[in-house]
Amino acid sequence: MWSWLLRFLRWVEEITLGPRSLQTSEHRNPSEAPSAEIFFARSDVVEKTPSNDAVRPGQFISVMHKGRPYWALFRCPCGCGDVVSLPTHPPHNPRWRIEVSVEGRPTLHPSVWRTKGCLSHFWISEGRVYWCDDTGVEPWRARSDLYERKI
Ligand SMILES: [Zn+2]
């Protein structure tokens, strides 16, 4: 009786874990692997929103207005050159939250998924950029794919 149960559990483990491990190895792309490099070495706090031309690659700018976060600006880490500007102040939805590590490196919540241009989808954590598997795909298309796969 117990050996049968054990065999059954092993079988369940195989069918539930098998396809998942296959999927990660099949869909992994070196460009999507977590980047070990520090892309944003520090977060520059300014009071006036700079022009896009003034944003240097690798520079993370946090605009503060009356001591409160207002905007985050940086050049897209994919290298396309576009300036990404994100609202960090309350009336905006969605809005992003910036945390700065002891080393002064920025962490951004939630992830950034560009809806135009390169359509990059990434996380910034302690100045490092982590690419999502669906980067380069339109957010609405990826979501409908996900929906179709479920049904
Ligand atoms: Zn880009």
Confidence of residue 34 (pLDDT cuts 50, 70, 90): low
Closest CA to 104 of 85, 88, 127: 127
Is the predicted pLDDT of residue 142 greater than 80, yes or no? Answer: no
Mean pLDDT, the chain, as a whole number?
80
**109 CA distance to ligand 1 centroid (A)?**
18
Alpha helical stretches, state H, the chain:
2-27, 139-150
The answer to whether the beta carbons of residues 85 and 75 sit under 8 Å apart is no
Distances (CA, A) of 70 to 3, 18, 43, 53, 74: 62, 46, 14, 19, 14
**18 CA distance to ligand 1 centroid (A)?**
34
Is the predicted pLDDT of residue 22 greater than 50, yes or no? Answer: no
For 71-106, write each residue's pLDDT tens digit: 999 999 999 999 999 999 988 888 899 999 999 999
> How far is residue 50 CA from its own chain's centroid?
24
**82 CA distance to ligand 1 centroid (A)?**
6
DSSP character string of 19-49: HHHHHHHHH--GGGSPP-SBS---EEEESSP
Closest CA to 74 of 99, 93, 95, 50: 50
> What is the per-residue pLDDT for 64?
94
> What is the per-residue pLDDT for 87?
94
Q: Please state, in angstroms and rounded to a whole number, the distance separating the CA atoms of residues 142 and 7.
A: 38
**83 CA distance to ligand 1 centroid (A)?**
8
**11 CA distance to ligand 1 centroid (A)?**
44
For 108-141, write each residue's pLDDT tens digit: 999 999 999 999 999 999 999 999 989 998 888 8
Which residues place a Cβ less than 5 A from the ion ligand 1? 76, 78, 80, 118, 120
Secondary structure of residue 141 in the 3-state scheme: helix
**1 CA distance to ligand 1 centroid (A)?**
58
**139 CA distance to ligand 1 centroid (A)?**
14
Q: Please state, in angstroms and rounded to a whole number, the distance separating the CA atoms of residues 80 and 102.
A: 29
> What is the per-residue pLDDT for 141?
80
